[in-house]
């Protein structure tokens, strides 16, 4: 079973990101009831623009078959791709079960498979990472700050006044995390500026010796 690259570990030189890929997340399928079985269409966007779509056929508790068209470049012809991904169940600690995909390439148990170059595989086989792992400390700090702000409702006034319906203790905890993330990012920025001005002073000293 599987498409191009099935049974191989697909490796590429520069790590791309999962965030920019066409992912199928089993948690999304469960949330929308797709794992009960049936035929569905998935679509993806990038920067607000459509970037692809695929049909999936699910046999409840057994398999997911992905069908789509792909091409290597804009000048190439479209080619059909069809790949079947097995499903497996594991027991949860407090009862019930959880479903996973079995990667067609490495047989790893994963929650997300990715459509790439006419194949379906996990991020490990495709050598992909998450965008957050490629962030610098400054960007990471500001991203965390915005995450906590969004959890408080997203409005600026929620930083100073408790949002309606939120527990006071929860709001205080989110505010503290927001402030810690902001201070961490500003500290990194201040250090970077300090290093920059120190190097600038040294450079100017060489150009204009006293």
Nearest 5 degrees, angle CA 91-CA 95-CA 99?
40
pLDDT of residue 19: 58
The residue with tokens 């148990």 is 109
Maximum separation of any 2 CA atoms in the chain, in Å: 79
Inform me whether the pLDDT recorded for 10 exceeds 60. Answer: no
Sheet containing 112-116: give its strands across: 22-25, 112-116, 119-121
pLDDT of residue 67: 94
Residues 52-65, mean pLDDT to the nearest whole number: 93
The whole-model pTM stands at 0.57
The Cα–Cα gap between 208 and 185 comes to 34
Main-chain dihedrals φ then ψ at residue 80, nearest 5 degrees: -75, 150
Q: Are 54 and 22 in contact (CB under 8 A)?
A: yes
Q: Band the pLDDT of 59: cuts 50, 70, 90.
A: very high
Closest CA to 26 of 127, 105, 80, 103: 103
The residue with tokens 């797709």 is 34
Closest CA to 166 of 148, 182, 184, 139: 148
Query: Please, which residues have CB within 8 angstroms of residue 187's CB and are 6 or more apart in sequence?
Result: none
pLDDT tens digits, one per residue of 196-206 = 556 555 555 54
Main-chain dihedrals φ then ψ at residue 140, nearest 5 degrees: -65, -40
């Amino acid at each position: 079973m599987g498409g191009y690259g099935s049974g191989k570990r697909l490796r590429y030189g520069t790590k791309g990101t999962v965030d920019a890929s066409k992912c199928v997340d089993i948690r999304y399928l469960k949330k929308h009831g797709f794992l009960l079985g049936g035929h569905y269409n998935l679509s993806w966007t990038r920067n607000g623009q459509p970037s692809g779509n695929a049909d999936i056929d699910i046999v409840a508790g057994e398999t997911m078959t992905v069908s789509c068209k792909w091409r290597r470049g804009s000048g190439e012809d479209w080619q059909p791709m069809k790949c079947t991904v097995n499903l497996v169940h594991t027991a949860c600690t407090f009862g019930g079960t959880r479903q996973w995909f079995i990667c067609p390439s490495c047989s790893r148990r994963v929650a997300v498979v990715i459509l790439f170059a006419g194949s379906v595989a996990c991020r490990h086989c495709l050598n992909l990472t998450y965008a957050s792992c490629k962030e610098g400390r400054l960007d990471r700090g500001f991203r965390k700050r915005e995450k906590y702000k969004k959890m408080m409702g997203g409005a600026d006034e929620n930083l100073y006044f408790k949002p309606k319906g939120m527990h006071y203790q929860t709001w205080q905890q989110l505010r503290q995390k927001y402030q810690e993330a902001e201070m961490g990012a500003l500290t990194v920025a201040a250090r970077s500026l300090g290093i920059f001005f120190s190097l600038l002073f040294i450079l100017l000293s060489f150009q204009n010796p006293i």
